[in-house]
């Protein structure tokens, strides 16, 4: 089975995660998919295959160098797809030799993937694209990564003339709900460092991500008959709205880019008696991140000064910027850059405006930057992936394995970006 056949088969598995089950994996479909992959890895003849009760699947392609020690490098992808849109009954379609025009995803519903809305499509004119039927997401995030890793390992196994050390691979659940690395057994994985294959467009290489927290702000009100409410009613929804507009208007996702952080209101539940606001807080800079949390605390105090005891705030850190863990080991970034150059991909080092399992794994002792998997428009019906991008991602994995096997692998850089 080749790379594209694998991907088209993998996206048929419904692995949408669910943050409300409090289970690992959060949904049973992820374990169904993991068991399928486990069987595939056994048929390939990989070693040290393990699938635990929490749906963490690991395996080894043994190295073929016997005269010296070679670092163990890992490659990781996640099994789940986003809760933002259904991943059930995914029906992918290949658009051959894309001509630069509109792509009708679903004629009955009038759903069109257009470069007028998504100009990045024009970067892929002449390439074969895999798209959805407009009713589900595609699942390239991260089944493209899963397919690329397994296909690269299969290629290395079928080409023993390529020298490499032990290659460890892992597939984990629940990345999309921020739980992917929580029960990842770094010691059992046993890699010196790893790469998540979970990035976007071709060439992306990421070792910086947001510092992240989630905040829940609860407002307590008092309800009485509105006809007799003067000086008695306390409408928690109105107070919540007051709190919300006190935050900086332009520091939201729709107004920020690059290294700019934000406050993002992601949920509202309300009545006169009780209203809850849920925010995520993001910033690449650790100091600014801490100041953002303090700003929420300051606003909560202001509300309570006006409405005593009305507002409670709970903030929980989610993950931190992996840069501080990667910078002492920049050769692992240099290796990825060089691997891309050697397969004619231009490296594009960008900060992740989000999180990744690699961030949490880096803080658990497994340095783990992120490499492109090739997809675009994740988490929705307009998701697509260019086939050549997936092929290049697979080639990058193979090339990294080859470079790590060189005696002077820390000094393989041929040119600067």
- Rounded to an integer, what distance in angstroms lies between the CA atom of residue 303 and that of residue 301? 5
Q: Is 177 exposed, middle or buried (0-12, 13-18, 19+ CB in 10 A)?
A: middle
**Catalytic position from the list 14, 175, 283, 399:** 175
Tokens (6 digits) for 356: 């990744």
Is 80 among the residues known to form the active site?
yes
The CA-based angle 331-337-341, given to 5 degrees, is 140
CA distances from 146 to 3, 88, 116, 347, 394 (A): 10, 18, 31, 21, 10
- Rounded to an integer, what distance in angstroms lies between the CA atom of residue 134 and that of residue 381? 5
Peptide bond into 142 cis (omega under 30): yes
What residues contact 413, with CB distance under 8 A and at least 6 apart? 334, 337, 338
- Rounded to an integer, what distance in angstroms lies between the CA atom of residue 398 and that of residue 152? 6
**Catalytic position from the list 14, 38, 80, 176:** 80
Tokens (6 digits) for 269: 């539940």
Is 175 among the residues known to form the active site?
yes
Residues 78/173, Cβ–Cβ less than 8 Å? yes
Q: Is 119 exposed, middle or buried (0-12, 13-18, 19+ CB in 10 A)?
A: exposed
Lookup result for tokens 């739980």:
179
Give the E-state strand segments of 328-369 in sequence order.
348-349
Residues with catalytic roles: 80, 175
């Amino acid at each position: 089975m080749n790379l594209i056949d694998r991907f088209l088969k993998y996206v048929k598995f419904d692995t949408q995660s669910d943050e409300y089950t409090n289970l690992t994996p959060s949904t049973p479909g992820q374990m169904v998919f993991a068991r399928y992959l486990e069987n595939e890895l056994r048929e390939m003849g990989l070693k040290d295959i393990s699938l635990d009760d929490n749906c963490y699947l690991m395996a080894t392609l043994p190295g073929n160098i016997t005269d010296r020690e070679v670092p163990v490098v890992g490659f990781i992808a996640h099994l789940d797809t986003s809760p933002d849109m259904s991943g059930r009954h995914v029906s992918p379609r290949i658009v051959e030799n894309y001509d630069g025009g509109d792509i009708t995803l679903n004629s009955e519903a009038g759903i069109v993937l257009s470069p007028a809305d998504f100009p990045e499509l024009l970067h892929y004119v002449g390439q074969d694209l895999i798209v959805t039927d407009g009713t589900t997401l595609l699942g390239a995030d991260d089944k493209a990564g899963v397919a690329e890793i397994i296909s690269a390992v299969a290629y290395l196994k079928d080409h023993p003339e390529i020298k490499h050390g032990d290659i460890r691979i892992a597939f984990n659940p629940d990345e999309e709900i921020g739980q992917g690395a929580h029960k990842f057994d770094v010691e059992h994985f046993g890699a010196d460092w790893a790469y998540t294959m979970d990035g976007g467009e071709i060439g992306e290489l990421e070792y910086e991500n947001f510092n992240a927290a989630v905040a829940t702000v609860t407002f307590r009100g008092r309800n009485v008959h509105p006809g007799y409410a003067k000086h008695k009613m306390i409408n928690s929804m109105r107070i919540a709205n007051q709190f919300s507009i006190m935050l900086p208007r332009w520091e939201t996702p729709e107004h920020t880019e690059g290294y700019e952080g934000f406050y993002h209101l992601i949920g509202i539940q309300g009545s006169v008696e009780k209203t809850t606001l849920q925010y995520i807080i993001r910033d690449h800079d650790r100091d600014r991140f801490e100041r953002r949390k303090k700003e929420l605390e300051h606003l909560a105090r202001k509300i309570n000064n006006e409405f005593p005891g009305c507002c409670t705030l709970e903030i929980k850190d989610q993950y931190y910027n992996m840069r501080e863990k990667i910078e002492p080991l920049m050769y692992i970034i240099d290796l990825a850059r060089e691997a891309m150059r050697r397969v004619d991909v231009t490296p594009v080092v960008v900060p992740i405006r989000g999180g990744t399992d690699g961030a949490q794994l880096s803080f658990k002792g497994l340095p783990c930057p992120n490499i492109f998997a090739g997809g675009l428009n994740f988490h929705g019906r307009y998701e697509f992936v260019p086939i050549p991008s997936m092929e290049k991602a697979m080639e990058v994995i193979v090339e990294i394995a080859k470079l790590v096997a060189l005696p002077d692998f820390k000094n393989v850089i041929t040119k600067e970006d």
